[in-house]
Structure 1
């Protein structure tokens, strides 16, 4: 498989689909030797089943493991760290990865419990988890989905699970896009298997899955994400970290050179509508963490469905940029000095919903 290629397969048997597309992509030929330590990095952002639209289907990772073992590779690990506010250990259980690791005899490295080191990433110093230095060939297994702050998340952003929680918070204070691009200079992903089974096109934490039943493979994370942008009807400039990563030499966003291998001649178009686009005008966000913002938007959507969203007259403030400041209505510990503020780091979707509903009905 060449770096300007993307392969796609459709179906319902996700494990066998994965094995088939890996054979087509000739993954085994890309790994230096049978003794290479292969790291498999899924998206386990939170403890929710893959059908919810946020996390990587364990059947896909099972297909990767079976394919590698059948081709004589025995040194594999799965590594990941959930977002700030959730424990990876909970996601490991609920998402089915504990039993997966036991079935295939592979270790799971929880990067939330990892040490860290500083790496120079093309002009930006970032803290990476120690596990990164141990991996010799990284297989990234992101979920194709929307994101309430960066609009899309796929190959490039999925590497955030390989940095400490403290660095995840710092990424948000830096505006996300630049550090995500530079992160991909410090961590090289060798191969990408995209879970496009039922990702949520609005929220990175799921809840509104869109069934597509597709798996893709790629070698260039920039090309992969540029393709995702196009299919989700975003211009490249609307997702700045993709272009920034290209400028830093991570890969190419030039879709005119893309060679797409598909099992079907016609691909279904994804919907244009985005809940985040419709609801974000009610929010004043400054350096907010993904979990906090990611729980706010679904709570607002619930209020809209109940006809209460139109009652909102105050902007909802959220994010680290409000620490120590005062205001009227805020979400999270960073707005604790506001007149009306909901504590939590992060507060849950239900807590935000109840808080805002009470605020609107007072």
Structure 2
């Protein structure tokens, strides 16, 4: 089992196999009693397939269920409450979870229809669905993606699906950040498995999926979200609920002392057809056999620079891909394969935050 400061990453384009390999390293069954009720909380915010960049891949959940059952952990439920404008029952159907439930005999719990209780913490009162409080081991499976109000959504914000619709509306009137932080003080995540396969560029409801070919696992939602923010090109202070959660003891933002291990390197294929927005950003890129994780980091970085209003100052093309290994150029290279370039952002793959910082220094 990994410790609280551990993060494990696996790359590829076969989610079911990837998550099993990841779990064999983490061995969560070592801390789960055989009779414990295990709750799986995906992100099914809307009724759209995971290829949209909005929702958790059912293949990841299938791999998780198969792994748990193979280890004799059979008391499993899948819980979710979609956003106020959508029905969870429709999301279960469209996103492939009805089929999962039938195949593996795992019940689906619609938290929009669940009863709830009120919990007090400091000066806040928060309503939490009853089914969530009955779970003995909670596995959170968020999607790594952008968000129109909070910049990113990952482990911490995905817990918002554990509250009734009326509470979701109230969270928005409270500015989202503080109640999200305090909700995570009340609801403990035992394991986080992040779907980083193809989260949306900047919108939680999908439409601009960016293929990143990765699954990330850890136990500290604050640490996971700190890592996620950097992957998408943000500093922690640009996602206020992360610092707030750290301040009340939910976890730590200390990535420097984190135990981060990549189990492999990305060699998966790029399968998604780029959206119009991704095509616009890719005008700045000259690619030769780039891995999806590296290319995805660059797209996120270019989006961040555009939002800041400085991408227009970039007059040079950016070179990326395995085709540039051991070659020397005067241009700007992205990733370890372009180490021979006069200017280069190293990393395999680099984080979008590192790319943003480097390009900002040139612009």
The TM-score normalised by the length of structure 2 is 0.74
1:229 and 1:57 map into 2 onto residues whose CA distance is 20
2:305 and 2:39 map into 1 onto residues whose CA distance is 33
SS of 1:119's partner is strand
Structure 1's unaligned 5+ residue stretches are: 281-362
SS of 1:46's partner is coil
Runs of 4+ in 1 over 6 A off after TM superposition: none
Deviation at 1:276, TM superposition (A): 11
2:16 and 2:265 map into 1 onto residues whose CA distance is 23
For residues 186-232 of structure 1, give each alpha carbon's deviation from its aligned partner in whole angstroms, at most 9, with x where no partner exists: 11010000000000021000000000111111000000000111122
- The alignment status of 1:220 with 2:205, answered yes or no, reads no
Q: Is the 8 A contact 1:193 1:215 kept in 2?
A: yes
Q: How large is the RMSD of aligned CA atoms in angstroms?
A: 1.8
**Higher mean Cα deviation, 262-271 or 128-137?**
262-271
Question: Which residue of structure 2 aligns with residue 196 of structure 1?
Answer: 196
Question: Which residue of structure 2 aligns with residue 82 of structure 1?
Answer: 82
- The alignment status of 1:132 with 2:161, answered yes or no, reads no
Question: Which residue of structure 1 aligns with residue 70 of structure 2?
Answer: 70
For residues 329-348 of structure 1, give each alpha carbon's deviation from its aligned partner in whole angstroms, at most 9, with x where no partner exists: xxxxxxxxxxxxxxxxxxxx
Q: 1:275 to 1:204 in 2, by over 3 A?
A: farther
1:273 and 1:10 map into 2 onto residues whose CA distance is 22
Structure 2's unaligned 5+ residue stretches are: 267-292, 310-363
1:210 and 1:87 map into 2 onto residues whose CA distance is 26
Deviation at 1:6, TM superposition (A): 0.5
Question: Which residue of structure 2 aligns with residue 353 of structure 1?
Answer: none
1:178-327 correspondence to structure 2 within 5 Å: 178-264=178-264, 268=294, 269-270=297-298, 271-274=300-303, 278=307
**Higher mean Cα deviation, 265-274 or 87-96?**
265-274
**Higher mean Cα deviation, 265-274 or 62-71?**
265-274
1:36-185 correspondence to structure 2 within 5 Å: 36-185=36-185
Deviation at 1:264, TM superposition (A): 3.6
Question: Which residue of structure 1 aligns with residue 24 of structure 2?
Answer: 23
Q: 1:117 to 1:219 in 2, by over 3 A?
A: same
Q: Is the 8 A contact 2:10 2:265 kept in 1?
A: no
Q: Is the 8 A contact 1:9 1:216 kept in 2?
A: yes
2:250 and 2:122 map into 1 onto residues whose CA distance is 10
Q: Is the 8 A contact 2:129 2:162 kept in 1?
A: yes
1:76 and 1:244 map into 2 onto residues whose CA distance is 31
Question: Which residue of structure 2 aligns with residue 5 of structure 1?
Answer: 6
Q: Is the 8 A contact 1:138 1:189 kept in 2?
A: yes
Deviation at 1:30, TM superposition (A): 2.3
1:276 and 1:76 map into 2 onto residues whose CA distance is 43
1:229 and 1:11 map into 2 onto residues whose CA distance is 21
SS of 2:301's partner is coil
